[in-house]
Amino acid sequence: MGNLKSILAKKILIIDEQSIIGLELQKKLEQSGYKVVRANSFDQSHSNIKPDLVISDTAPSTSSCLYLFKKALVGKSLPIICTNSQCIDRLLSVKELIIIANYLKPFDTQEILNSVNEYFKLTSKA
């Protein structure tokens, strides 16, 4: 039970330009016990959030934003689930990111929740 508790205490950052989809996903994750923070863009997602995982449908809008994002990750790795093909293309250049899944819209929020749960279960055993 302690293992499950540590999995559910994880913080997830959702970066989603479409607030309805982001809200639906946030609700699903929070009902499952995760802490969720939302932003409309990478520009709004501040480095002080320190998420355990990112779910994003958008990529950094400028190279300076991408640079700041890379700088915030120095010495760390961050798992990300992309929900947009442009997101994955742009983020492949950030070696600190671990892209664990890629979904294209429309997607089932339950599938994303399953990926999140599976990722945290696997990493908690390591």
Q: How does pLDDT run across 65-106, given as a tens digit for each residue?
A: 566 566 666 667 778 888 876 776 667 766 667 788 888 878
Would you say 20 and 44 are in contact if contact means Cβ atoms under 8 Å apart? Answer: no
Q: Model's pTM, two decimal places?
A: 0.79
Q: Would you call 38 helix, strand, or coil by DSSP? A: strand
Query: What domain range is 41 assigned to?
Result: 2-125
> Total domain count for the chain?
1
pLDDT exceeding 70 applies to what percent of the chain? 64
- Higher-confidence residue of 112 and 6: namely 112
Q: Tell me the pLDDT of the chain averaged across its residues.
A: 77
Q: Which CATH number fits the domain that encloses residue 36?
A: 3.40.50.2300
Higher-confidence position of 36 and 69:
36
CA–CA separation, 91 vs 1, rounded Å? Answer: 35
How many other CB atoms are there within 10 angstroms of residue 69's CB atom? 21
| Number of neighbouring beta carbons within 10 Å of residue 8 | 14
- The rounded distance, in Å, linking the Cα atoms of 14 and 45 is 9
* Distance between CA atoms of residues 77 and 126, nearest Å: 15
Residues 51/78, Cβ–Cβ less than 8 Å: yes
**Which pLDDT does position 123 carry in this prediction?**
85
Q: Residue 46 above 80 pLDDT?
A: no
Quote the Cα angle for 68-74-23, to 5°: 60
User: What band does 35 get if pLDDT is binned at 50, 70 and 90?
Assistant: very high
